[in-house]
Amino acid sequence: MHLRLGELDLATLRRVTRQPVSVALGRDQLQKLKAGAAVVGRLVAQEQIAYGINTGFGLLAQTRIARDQIEALQRNLVLSHAAGTGELLADEIVRLILLLKVASLAQGYSGVRPRTVRALCALLEHGVYPCIPCQGSVGASGDLAPLAHLAAALIGVGEVRIGGEIMPALAGLQRVGLAPVALGPKEGLALLNGTQVSTALALCGLFRIEDVMAAALLAGALSVDAVKGSDVPFEARIHAIRRQQGQQDVAAAFRRLLAGSAIRASHLNCERVQDPYSIRCQPQVMGACLDLWRAAAATLAREANAVTDNPLVFPDDGAVCSGGNFHAEPVGFAADQLALAIAEIGSIAERRIAILVDPKMSGLPPFLVDNSGVNSGFMVPQVTAAALVAENKALAHPCSVDSIPTSANQEDHVSMATYGARRLASMADNAAVIVAIELLAAVQGIEFHRPLRSSPILERTVALVRARVAHYAADRFFAPDIAAAKALVVSGVFRSYLREAGLES
């Protein structure tokens, strides 16, 4: 995929996580870069004091750096700050980090030269992905340690991954015909400062949660029919007077998903008065989750297009201003919101599984299998779902309230956005399994009502699941069934089903 820089939207950012990308700097970006770099050049030539250009960093900001040591200052900054640890970030995340860093620097407020930004573009174009450990950032003063590993690769230090192969950074650059970059004034600092790692991790979490949420809505609608639930709780007037947009949107989607169901028509005059909350309150719960997702998406879309390093250069008047755009509190809050949403999506899905396997609640065979007793059916998959819900409850604890001072108390309040965003992948993965189990259970429940059929959209969902997982007629090795259903959940295929039902994230 080839991009020309401009306003990056969520659809573009999602595609970057799925496939390689090349980026071209336009004339406008080149002019802005040159103007910003010229400001830095004048400050150095005139020996005017400016943080990070000719001073030390953090608590050492009062230390003046001689002109002949400025290049060493930037290189030493990168080397000393490349102190990350833990597993390496996946290529899809590193690719997004690189794009976000290019998009930020190319706006011309960071004082870096066009050649340095072009060097980042070259890494993207050739698929040279710096090896970035996932741990070591507290999400303030930027994602210093992980971005230092990115910058180290640019100067030929550390390691890179090309086509899945890890090699020394210098060898990787040479393999694709690139040379290490000699950093100019402020460039090391500009590369290290910024929220690009936290934002990339949060965006990847956002996209995964969107896929799981879509599948959960389909699974929830299937469960309504499987337990012969009522569609009255989805009436528009109920939700209109609540005034919550997400709730209204989800209720409307449920009305469309269930429209035309012969199963629903078969029990219009039944004696049941109300369904359990996990069945009838899906618009209220999933709508609230959708609202949180939308709010987080808006925050992260803005952050993806933001300039977040320090100090900032304003070419119009030549000012160099020290601020705090590197503080990732907005990203941390967005990540915490997403964590709450995905924890609840999994929690309510597990409760529907519990109803489906309980004959007293569902009216279906015990544990959704014939000849129960000899067969255990969905007994332990529900236990698996419960275990994963418990994990997500623990992971949902807000990270943004857990500040730890760093850098000799110069950086005395931090966002913890990086870990807050990183845990979203595990949480989305857990929830994907829970929803996969519900999909299997709900489809099994629907089939016990044959020859009655559900709605057209839900029957297509049944067919999609059954194309990958056979009906559970008797006990068999269960794990492959869950894995196959999970693959459907994380594929994102159900987002198109929801669009057909009129629901856009």
Q: Which residues are catalytic?
A: 51
Encoding tokens for residue 33? 């870069």
Q: Tokens 């049944």 identify what position?
A: 462
Q: What is the DSSP string of 278-331?
A: HHHTHHHHHHHHHHHHHHHHHHHHHHHT----SSEEETTTTEEE---TT--HHH
Q: Are 272 and 257 in contact (CB under 8 A)?
A: no
Largest CA-CA distance found in the chain, in angstroms, rounded:
87
Contact 430, 392 (CB under 8 A): yes
DSSP state of 274: -
- Classify each residue of 41-67 as buried b or exposed e, where b means 16 or more C-beta atoms within 10 Å of its C-beta: bebbeeeeebbbbbeebeeeeeeebee
Question: Which residues, in sequence order, are CB contacts of 432 under 8 Å at separation 6+?
Answer: 208, 211, 212, 215, 486, 489, 490
- DSSP 8-class letter at 67: G
One-letter amino acid of 256: R
Report residue 56 as tokens: 């030390």
- C-alpha to C-alpha distance for 211 and 486, rounded to whole angstroms: 11
Task: Annotate 399-419 with DSSP letters as a single string.
Answer: STT----BTTTTB-----HHH
Helix/strand/coil for 11: helix
Structure tokens at 404: 């730890």
Compute CA distances 32 → 26, 28, 88, 195, whole Å.
10, 6, 33, 21
What's the CA gap between 481 and 476, in Å, rounded?
A: 9
> 219 by DSSP, 3-state: which?
helix
